[in-house]
Structure 1
Amino acid sequence: MVQRYIRKILEARVYDVAVETPLDEARGLSERLNNRVLLKREDEQPVFSFKVRGAYNKMVQLTDEEKARGVITASAGNHAQGVAIAARELGIKATIVMPKTTPDVKVNNVRRLGGKAVLHGDAFDEARLHSQKLMAEKGLVYVHPYDDPDVIAGQGTVAMEMLRQEGGPINAIFVPVGGGGLIAGVAAYVKYLRPETKVIGVESAESACLKLAMDKGFRDTLDQVGIFADGVAVAQIGEHTWEIAKDNVDEVITVSTDEICAAIKDIFDDTRSVCEPAGALAVAGMKKYVEREGVEGQTLIAIDSGANVNFDRLRHIAERSELGEKREAIIAAKIPEKPGSFKKFCKALGSRNITEFNYRYSDDREAIVFAGVQIKPNNDGRDELLGELKEHLDEVVDLTEDETAKLHVRYMVGGHAPASVDNEVVYRFEFPERPGALMKFLNKLGGRWNISMFHYRNHGAAYGRVLVGLQVAEAERGQVDTFLDEIGYTYYNETGNAAYKLFLG
């Protein structure tokens, strides 16, 4: 099978629209990690993503009859732009079905490139189903974003370039994974020519479909997919991509939102370019691998796969990058409600800087503070801080890994609910973000239970995030999940969350 793909990669036609991107040394990362770190700059493609390679290679090989019929695909961004620019080059009519949540910058670029953008549904799966309906009705040719041999071969040209650009030994190549088109093409080519080089997939912990398949030994579907790294938000690895990956990928590393944000900052520091969350996956995985294995003096390549990021998302990314770099800890602490307590708290921090401090008077006995604290950028920094604080304070809680604390509670600290608020349950929601979405969410939630707390913050992402308190009688608690399942939005029960209990409950 791999031999068949080698020939397809070597014969792939991508350079009518794609460019050979540089393999740049990341000097800052190299010094910090004590390894030679190289970045494959696919963010420098004409549409700021590698996706143009596979899309064009698939479409250039269509028959004249197929080209005359026109093509269709479903995409939330990068593949859509790849299909649009390929269609313009080849004189093919292209219809791209995109979720209504797709950022305007991507929709407008598809239209600028000559593609017909059809907005349908709140999520990719709805757009995909609609695209298949249109394909059947209009006789269009479907261009799959990843699960197609010609698309895989087009993406494999990334590996062909890397091995030509770096003639010396390559110890490991780190590849971002969504549906698997890129890693399948890279793994097939690299393992055939340099079997000693490790090919390591990197996935967001919120959409680790390849790791799921590797762990189980077969393709399975994730129950839930997170959307921060929207470019890789895929619930099931592709069929063709899995056939290659299962035998040629050495391992899969998963990374958190904070680790992705830190990697975006790392790439910016070295290149002065801002990549999208999916584009930074490989660097985030490389850092985790180096820390785990303790390797030094090796040549490591990370594929920077794309730079299609909305400007208004940068605020959220910047906030989370310090946590991802392990330079900041988020803590809650109880201190006596009396003069001098805050000074004692600061003294317990030593020379560390406070990055955030939230407090509101609650009663005359004790106060609970929410604080961000700068720490040493290593694994021991947080443990060292917590140890020192516990020597001086009665109760300290580490909230650094608590998503509810980081997304909501830090902006809501202002005192506990009054005694009149009883039977409160707390849920965290994600819902498609677009004008009017918040009102639609409230309408769906309805007036069945009284809303006792509400926090919403727009992070410039495709999905909005809300923290809601509902007053639900004990006898009705079992009905809540059933009701929320009918609404259809992703939700998490946070009633037992430590940050909620400390500051809001």
Structure 2
Amino acid sequence: MTEFQNNARQAEAAMRAVFEPTPLQRNDHLSDRYGAEILLKREDLSPVRSYKLRGAFNAMRKALAARSEITQFVCASAGNHAQGVAFMCRHFGVKGVIFMPVTTPQQKIGKTEKFGGDAVSIRLTGDYFDDTLQAAQAYCTKVGGHFLSPFDDEDVIEGQASVAVEIEAQLGGMPDHLILPVGGGGLSAGVRSYMGDSVNLTLIEPAGGACLAAALAAGEPVRLRHVDNFADGAAVAQIGKRTFARLADLDPAQARVIDEDRLCTTMLEMLNIEGIVLEPAGALAVDALKDMGDVIQGKTVVCVTSGGNFDFERLPEVKERAQRYSGVKKYFILRMPQRPGALRDFLEILGPEDDIARFEYLKKSARNFGSVLIGIETMRPENFVHILRKLDDAGFDYRDITRDEVLAEFLI
């Protein structure tokens, strides 16, 4: 047994005084679909609905053991890390100051306050996370506090490795294949360091934050120029230096990238069929199964569902993105003739499985034609073949803007 494995087991054992192991559950729906033994490691069922309290616990436990005079911990986070730190501040009876961007949703602020109670204070600073992080680090230096990194810290990495310790104990050994999300790399670095090469490992990133893939290509951590924060639990601009050091020798094929719109289809599927609420990052490992049928068939596969902190106010957006990805919803700019009966002619093109989800005049002042933004939902993607053919036959001038990022951002 390596020193890291021993430390990870000690961290996992110490956690039992705070919370129970998260379940490792066989999922019949996914197992039947992929012809494999699919088990979900339900980190979304932890006390803070993510694995982040593991790293926070271990880093705070070891810091307090080394410096008993520490009275204040400081972190910067807009989500799961903040909640994990808040929970552990109350557990250890220490003060925590948590910096969050001004743009943080009130739901996340409220949950952080609930978990921390009187032990934590929250400071809203900066519109973007980098500004928040700088403010937190400057404050920490000023007051002599202890800064808690969300991922790029050896004690955090060691704490996140407790996920692997539990999987091994619950399964009675190692799985054939392990799939887990990667953001800053704390979870993936810890799990890989514990399991070594005994398990086939696949790490999944959102397309809008593929910092591991960029680092593997460059041979070192690099900062992404743009990050899509939809999968905010894994959308990181730059992987940590310490975490990448533990992942640098990965085969690039082990790091896969998932489209955020496709991810929405998995979130809805798990909610509607299984009753499992997953945040976007928490659904990454499950969504990856769609690309791995031949690789995992007949194998024992563990997917880590890393978080379930999902604000249901985002559900309409998730449904919208899933429908567009699945091809059952499209948006068009249609030139509508300004004459009696033109709208009726258009409506007659639609079939019994088609519905108008949006209808908005963009330009009414034209004398002969008016521009209309129209959204159409249907039950099957192939129905659009018939709709478009009928539009062409009727002589309607239209433009499909469903995948036009610029127009969709302003109009949809």
TM-score bracket relative to the smaller structure: 0.7 to 0.9
Residues 367 and 121 (structure 1 numbering): CA distance in 2 closer, same or farther, change over 3 Å? closer
Shift of 1:54: 0.7
Residues 18 and 397 (structure 1 numbering): CA distance in 2 closer, same or farther, change over 3 Å? farther
- Mapped to 2, the partners of 1:330 and 1:281 lie a distance apart of 27
Q: Is the 1:389–1:396 Cα contact (8 Å) retained in structure 2?
A: no
Equivalent residue number for residue 141 of structure 1: 146
Code of the aligned partner of 2:222: D
Percent identity (aligned): 32
Q: Is the 1:18–1:52 Cα contact (8 Å) retained in structure 2?
A: no
Task: Give the 3-state SS of the residue equivalent to 2:196 in structure 1.
Answer: helix
- Mapped to 2, the partners of 1:248 and 1:382 lie a distance apart of 43
Equivalent residue number for residue 76 of structure 1: 78
Matches within 5 A, 1:317-396: 317-333=318-334, 352-358=353-359, 360=361, 362-364=366-368, 370-374=374-378, 376=380, 381=382, 384=385, 388=389, 392=393
Q: Is the 1:276–1:308 Cα contact (8 Å) retained in structure 2?
A: yes
What number of residue pairs does the alignment pair up?
401
Q: Deviations over 1:103-132 (max 9, x none)?
A: 223323333322222222122211211111
Residues 44 and 144 (structure 1 numbering): CA distance in 2 closer, same or farther, change over 3 Å? same
- Mapped to 1, the partners of 2:61 and 2:351 lie a distance apart of 64
Runs of 4+, deviation exceeding 6 Å: none
TM-score by length of 1: 0.70
Shift of 1:4: 4.3
1:274 aligned to 2:274? no
Equivalent residue number for residue 316 of structure 1: 317
Q: Deviations over 1:329-362 (max 9, x none)?
A: 3344556666776666566655542252425365
Q: Is the 1:84–1:94 Cα contact (8 Å) retained in structure 2?
A: yes
- Mapped to 2, the partners of 1:389 and 1:219 lie a distance apart of 52
Counterpart among 258, 273, 286 of residue 283 in structure 1: 286
Q: Is the 1:337–1:367 Cα contact (8 Å) retained in structure 2?
A: no
Shift of 1:252: 2.2
- Mapped to 1, the partners of 2:375 and 2:270 lie a distance apart of 28
1:44 aligned to 2:49? no
Q: Deviations over 1:27-70 (max 9, x none)?
A: 34444555543322111111111000111011111244634223
- Mapped to 2, the partners of 1:205 and 1:324 lie a distance apart of 14
Residues 121 and 67 (structure 1 numbering): CA distance in 2 closer, same or farther, change over 3 Å? farther
Residues 100 and 390 (structure 1 numbering): CA distance in 2 closer, same or farther, change over 3 Å? same
Code of the aligned partner of 2:53: V
Q: Is the 2:215–2:221 Cα contact (8 Å) retained in structure 1?
A: yes
Q: Is the 1:191–1:248 Cα contact (8 Å) retained in structure 2?
A: no
- Mapped to 2, the partners of 1:42 and 1:337 lie a distance apart of 57
Equivalent residue number for residue 11 of structure 1: 10
Task: Give the 3-state SS of the residue equivalent to 1:247 in structure 2.
Answer: coil
- Mapped to 1, the partners of 2:167 and 2:335 lie a distance apart of 54
Q: Is the 1:202–1:253 Cα contact (8 Å) retained in structure 2?
A: yes
Q: Deviations over 1:74-125 (max 9, x none)?
A: 1112111211222222222222222222222332333332222222212221
Equivalent residue number for residue 261 of structure 1: 264
What runs of 5+ residues in structure 2 fail to find an aligned partner?
A: none
Shift of 1:306: 1.3
Q: CA RMSD in A?
A: 3.1
Equivalent residue number for residue 224 of structure 1: 226
- Mapped to 2, the partners of 1:296 and 1:398 lie a distance apart of 39
Equivalent residue number for residue 126 of structure 2: 121
Residues 287 and 349 (structure 1 numbering): CA distance in 2 closer, same or farther, change over 3 Å? farther
Code of the aligned partner of 1:25: R
Residues 370 and 179 (structure 1 numbering): CA distance in 2 closer, same or farther, change over 3 Å? same
Task: Give the 3-state SS of the residue equivalent to 2:20 in structure 1.
Answer: coil
Q: Deviations over 1:137-158 (max 9, x none)?
A: 1111111110111111211111
Equivalent residue number for residue 165 of structure 1: 170
Shift of 1:299: 4.1
Matches within 5 A, 1:86-485: 86-112=88-114, 113=116, 114-166=119-171, 170-192=175-197, 194-195=198-199, 197=200, 199-248=201-250, 250-290=253-293, 296-333=297-334, 352-358=353-359, 360=361, 362-364=366-368, 370-374=374-378, 376=380, 381=382, 384=385, 388=389, 392=393, 397-410=399-412
TM-score by length of 2: 0.84
Q: Is the 1:28–1:269 Cα contact (8 Å) retained in structure 2?
A: no
- Mapped to 1, the partners of 2:35 and 2:367 lie a distance apart of 52
Q: Is the 1:27–1:270 Cα contact (8 Å) retained in structure 2?
A: no
